[in-house]
Amino acid sequence: MIPLFGGSRSAAHPAGGHASSSSAPARDTDSRFGRRFAGHPIEPDVDGVDSGGRDDPQDDDVRERAEALLLRKLRSRSLSISEARTAIREVPGTDEVVITELIERFIDLGYLNDAVFAEQLVLSAVERRGEGRRAVATTLMKRGIPRDIADAAIAEMPDDDAERALDFARSKARSVGGKDDDAALRRLAGQLARRGYPSSVALSAARQALREVGVGRSRPSRPTSGVRFTPDE
Protein backbone atom coordinates (compact mmCIF):
# COMPACT_ATOMS: atom_id res chain seq x y z
CA MET A 1 0.00 0.00 0.00
CA ILE A 2 1.25 3.48 -0.77
CA PRO A 3 2.22 5.30 2.45
CA LEU A 4 0.23 8.42 1.71
CA PHE A 5 0.10 9.21 5.39
CA GLY A 6 3.73 8.46 6.17
CA GLY A 7 6.56 10.88 6.82
CA SER A 8 6.92 14.05 4.73
CA ARG A 9 8.60 13.61 1.38
CA SER A 10 8.90 15.34 -1.96
CA ALA A 11 6.11 14.32 -4.36
CA ALA A 12 6.53 14.73 -8.08
CA HIS A 13 3.52 16.27 -9.80
CA PRO A 14 2.57 15.30 -13.38
CA ALA A 15 2.52 18.98 -14.30
CA GLY A 16 6.13 19.36 -13.22
CA GLY A 17 5.62 20.95 -9.77
CA HIS A 18 6.52 19.45 -6.41
CA ALA A 19 4.78 19.17 -3.07
CA SER A 20 6.53 20.61 0.00
CA SER A 21 9.44 18.61 1.40
CA SER A 22 11.17 18.23 4.79
CA SER A 23 14.39 16.79 6.08
CA ALA A 24 13.06 13.24 5.62
CA PRO A 25 14.70 11.29 2.77
CA ALA A 26 13.09 12.08 -0.57
CA ARG A 27 11.06 9.32 -2.18
CA ASP A 28 10.48 8.99 -5.92
CA THR A 29 6.72 9.30 -5.65
CA ASP A 30 6.12 9.61 -9.37
CA SER A 31 7.85 6.33 -10.17
CA ARG A 32 6.03 4.54 -7.34
CA PHE A 33 2.61 5.71 -8.43
CA GLY A 34 3.25 5.56 -12.19
CA ARG A 35 1.79 8.27 -14.39
CA ARG A 36 -1.97 8.60 -14.29
CA PHE A 37 -2.47 10.93 -17.21
CA ALA A 38 -1.76 10.18 -20.88
CA GLY A 39 -3.40 6.79 -20.32
CA HIS A 40 -0.72 5.20 -18.14
CA PRO A 41 -1.95 3.07 -15.24
CA ILE A 42 -1.14 3.73 -11.61
CA GLU A 43 1.35 1.21 -10.30
CA PRO A 44 1.34 1.49 -6.52
CA ASP A 45 3.99 0.08 -4.23
CA VAL A 46 2.50 -2.37 -1.78
CA ASP A 47 5.28 -2.55 0.79
CA GLY A 48 3.01 -1.46 3.61
CA VAL A 49 1.53 1.63 5.19
CA ASP A 50 3.44 3.86 7.55
CA SER A 51 1.22 4.85 10.43
CA GLY A 52 2.70 8.36 10.39
CA GLY A 53 2.88 8.39 14.16
CA ARG A 54 -0.76 7.50 14.67
CA ASP A 55 -1.37 5.08 17.49
CA ASP A 56 -4.76 3.67 16.54
CA PRO A 57 -4.35 0.57 14.32
CA GLN A 58 -8.03 0.71 13.41
CA ASP A 59 -7.65 4.21 11.94
CA ASP A 60 -4.64 3.03 9.95
CA ASP A 61 -6.61 0.06 8.62
CA VAL A 62 -9.46 2.31 7.46
CA ARG A 63 -7.03 4.61 5.68
CA GLU A 64 -5.27 1.68 4.07
CA ARG A 65 -8.49 0.17 2.77
CA ALA A 66 -9.79 3.53 1.54
CA GLU A 67 -6.53 4.22 -0.25
CA ALA A 68 -6.52 0.76 -1.85
CA LEU A 69 -10.09 1.18 -3.09
CA LEU A 70 -9.39 4.56 -4.64
CA LEU A 71 -6.27 3.27 -6.38
CA ARG A 72 -8.15 0.29 -7.81
CA LYS A 73 -10.78 2.58 -9.27
CA LEU A 74 -8.21 4.98 -10.69
CA ARG A 75 -6.40 2.13 -12.39
CA SER A 76 -9.55 1.26 -14.34
CA ARG A 77 -10.86 4.76 -15.14
CA SER A 78 -10.34 8.44 -14.44
CA LEU A 79 -12.45 9.98 -11.69
CA SER A 80 -13.63 13.43 -10.81
CA ILE A 81 -13.00 14.64 -7.28
CA SER A 82 -16.68 14.18 -6.51
CA GLU A 83 -16.59 10.58 -7.75
CA ALA A 84 -13.44 9.92 -5.72
CA ARG A 85 -15.14 11.15 -2.55
CA THR A 86 -18.11 8.90 -3.21
CA ALA A 87 -15.79 5.94 -3.76
CA ILE A 88 -13.93 6.49 -0.50
CA ARG A 89 -17.21 6.65 1.43
CA GLU A 90 -17.85 3.04 0.41
CA VAL A 91 -15.21 1.92 2.92
CA PRO A 92 -16.80 1.17 6.31
CA GLY A 93 -15.48 3.40 9.08
CA THR A 94 -14.28 6.16 6.76
CA ASP A 95 -14.88 9.67 8.07
CA GLU A 96 -14.46 13.13 6.58
CA VAL A 97 -10.93 13.42 7.95
CA VAL A 98 -9.77 10.37 5.99
CA ILE A 99 -11.66 11.51 2.89
CA THR A 100 -10.12 14.98 2.99
CA GLU A 101 -6.59 13.66 3.57
CA LEU A 102 -6.81 11.19 0.70
CA ILE A 103 -8.41 13.63 -1.72
CA GLU A 104 -5.87 16.36 -0.98
CA ARG A 105 -2.99 13.93 -1.36
CA PHE A 106 -4.22 12.60 -4.71
CA ILE A 107 -4.84 16.14 -5.95
CA ASP A 108 -1.31 17.08 -4.91
CA LEU A 109 0.08 14.13 -6.84
CA GLY A 110 -1.95 15.04 -9.93
CA TYR A 111 -4.15 11.96 -10.08
CA LEU A 112 -7.30 13.94 -9.36
CA ASN A 113 -7.73 17.06 -11.48
CA ASP A 114 -11.21 18.15 -12.48
CA ALA A 115 -10.02 20.67 -15.09
CA VAL A 116 -7.89 18.10 -16.92
CA PHE A 117 -10.59 15.44 -16.60
CA ALA A 118 -13.21 17.80 -18.04
CA GLU A 119 -10.99 18.44 -21.06
CA GLN A 120 -10.62 14.70 -21.58
CA LEU A 121 -14.39 14.17 -21.41
CA VAL A 122 -15.03 16.97 -23.90
CA LEU A 123 -12.44 15.60 -26.31
CA SER A 124 -13.92 12.10 -26.13
CA ALA A 125 -17.47 13.36 -26.59
CA VAL A 126 -16.58 15.46 -29.63
CA GLU A 127 -14.08 13.26 -31.45
CA ARG A 128 -15.37 9.77 -30.63
CA ARG A 129 -19.13 10.23 -30.25
CA GLY A 130 -19.77 13.36 -32.30
CA GLU A 131 -21.82 14.99 -29.57
CA GLY A 132 -23.07 18.55 -29.38
CA ARG A 133 -22.66 21.02 -26.53
CA ARG A 134 -25.81 20.07 -24.64
CA ALA A 135 -24.85 16.41 -24.51
CA VAL A 136 -21.32 17.32 -23.43
CA ALA A 137 -22.68 19.53 -20.64
CA THR A 138 -24.89 16.67 -19.44
CA THR A 139 -21.93 14.28 -19.38
CA LEU A 140 -19.82 16.69 -17.33
CA MET A 141 -22.66 17.20 -14.86
CA LYS A 142 -23.18 13.44 -14.44
CA ARG A 143 -19.47 12.94 -13.77
CA GLY A 144 -19.52 15.47 -10.96
CA ILE A 145 -17.52 18.23 -12.63
CA PRO A 146 -18.21 21.59 -10.90
CA ARG A 147 -20.26 24.05 -12.95
CA ASP A 148 -17.52 26.65 -13.36
CA ILE A 149 -14.99 24.07 -14.58
CA ALA A 150 -17.57 22.51 -16.92
CA ASP A 151 -18.46 25.90 -18.40
CA ALA A 152 -14.80 26.68 -19.00
CA ALA A 153 -14.23 23.34 -20.75
CA ILE A 154 -17.31 23.74 -22.96
CA ALA A 155 -16.26 27.28 -23.85
CA GLU A 156 -13.10 25.82 -25.37
CA MET A 157 -15.07 23.58 -27.73
CA PRO A 158 -14.84 24.55 -31.40
CA ASP A 159 -17.91 26.39 -32.66
CA ASP A 160 -18.66 23.80 -35.32
CA ASP A 161 -21.83 22.07 -34.14
CA ALA A 162 -23.34 22.26 -37.63
CA GLU A 163 -20.31 20.63 -39.25
CA ARG A 164 -20.08 17.84 -36.67
CA ALA A 165 -23.82 17.25 -36.87
CA LEU A 166 -23.57 16.88 -40.65
CA ASP A 167 -20.66 14.46 -40.36
CA PHE A 168 -22.69 12.29 -38.01
CA ALA A 169 -25.81 12.54 -40.18
CA ARG A 170 -23.88 11.44 -43.24
CA SER A 171 -22.64 8.36 -41.39
CA LYS A 172 -26.22 7.33 -40.56
CA ALA A 173 -28.20 8.55 -43.55
CA ARG A 174 -28.28 5.30 -45.52
CA SER A 175 -29.31 3.23 -42.53
CA VAL A 176 -32.44 5.32 -41.85
CA GLY A 177 -33.55 5.63 -45.47
CA GLY A 178 -36.72 3.96 -46.67
CA LYS A 179 -39.89 4.46 -48.61
CA ASP A 180 -41.17 7.05 -46.16
CA ASP A 181 -38.92 10.10 -46.52
CA ASP A 182 -40.56 11.95 -43.65
CA ALA A 183 -39.99 9.03 -41.29
CA ALA A 184 -36.33 8.84 -42.31
CA LEU A 185 -35.94 12.55 -41.62
CA ARG A 186 -37.56 12.23 -38.20
CA ARG A 187 -35.38 9.28 -37.25
CA LEU A 188 -32.13 10.93 -38.27
CA ALA A 189 -33.00 14.30 -36.73
CA GLY A 190 -33.95 12.47 -33.53
CA GLN A 191 -30.58 10.75 -33.39
CA LEU A 192 -28.85 14.10 -33.73
CA ALA A 193 -31.04 15.69 -31.07
CA ARG A 194 -30.16 12.91 -28.63
CA ARG A 195 -26.51 13.76 -29.16
CA GLY A 196 -27.10 17.26 -27.94
CA TYR A 197 -27.59 19.23 -31.14
CA PRO A 198 -30.22 21.99 -31.25
CA SER A 199 -33.34 21.06 -33.20
CA SER A 200 -32.62 23.51 -36.01
CA VAL A 201 -29.09 22.17 -36.46
CA ALA A 202 -30.28 18.56 -36.27
CA LEU A 203 -33.02 19.06 -38.83
CA SER A 204 -30.81 20.93 -41.28
CA ALA A 205 -28.03 18.33 -41.07
CA ALA A 206 -30.48 15.46 -41.43
CA ARG A 207 -32.09 16.97 -44.53
CA GLN A 208 -28.78 17.60 -46.23
CA ALA A 209 -27.38 14.16 -45.45
CA LEU A 210 -30.52 12.45 -46.72
CA ARG A 211 -30.52 14.50 -49.93
CA GLU A 212 -26.93 13.46 -50.54
CA VAL A 213 -27.90 9.79 -50.51
CA GLY A 214 -31.01 10.34 -52.60
CA VAL A 215 -33.63 10.32 -49.87
CA GLY A 216 -36.17 13.11 -49.95
CA ARG A 217 -35.62 14.16 -53.55
CA SER A 218 -38.70 15.19 -55.40
CA ARG A 219 -40.34 12.33 -57.26
CA PRO A 220 -42.29 12.70 -60.51
CA SER A 221 -45.99 12.87 -59.87
CA ARG A 222 -48.40 10.57 -61.64
CA PRO A 223 -50.20 12.15 -64.63
CA THR A 224 -53.87 12.73 -64.17
CA SER A 225 -56.58 12.74 -66.79
CA GLY A 226 -58.22 15.81 -65.43
CA VAL A 227 -61.45 13.88 -65.00
CA ARG A 228 -62.89 13.85 -61.53
CA PHE A 229 -64.83 10.77 -60.54
CA THR A 230 -67.59 11.04 -58.02
CA PRO A 231 -69.62 8.25 -56.47
CA ASP A 232 -73.10 7.53 -57.76
CA GLU A 233 -75.86 9.03 -55.74
Determine the pLDDT at residue 150.
95
* Residue 91 within any structural domain of the chain: yes
Domain annotation covers residue 232: no
Q: For residue 177, what pLDDT is reported?
A: 67
148-205: per-residue pLDDT in tens?
A: 999 999 988 877 778 888 888 888 888 886 667 888 888 999 988 888 888 888 899 8
Residue 143 domain-assigned (yes or no):
yes
Same-domain check for residues 121 and 145: yes
Q: Are 67 and 1 in contact (CB under 8 A)?
A: yes
Per-residue pLDDT tens over the stretch 28-64: 333 333 334 344 444 444 344 344 444 466 778 899 9
Judge whether 61 lies within some domain: yes
Cross-strand partners of 18: 12
pLDDT digits (tens, 9 = 90+) for 6-27: 443 444 433 444 443 333 333 3
Residue-range definition of the domain harbouring residue 119 = 113-158
Residue 87 covered by a domain: yes
Does 95 have pLDDT greater than 70? yes
Count of the separate structural domains present in the chain: 3
Per-residue pLDDT, 175: 85
Is the domain of 120 the same as that of 88? no
Judge whether 77 and 117 are in contact, CB under 8 Å. Answer: no
| 0.85 exceeded by pTM | no
Q: Is residue 208 part of a domain?
A: yes
Residue 226 in any domain: the answer is no
Task: Specify whether the CB–CB gap between 118 and 149 falls below 8 A.
Answer: yes
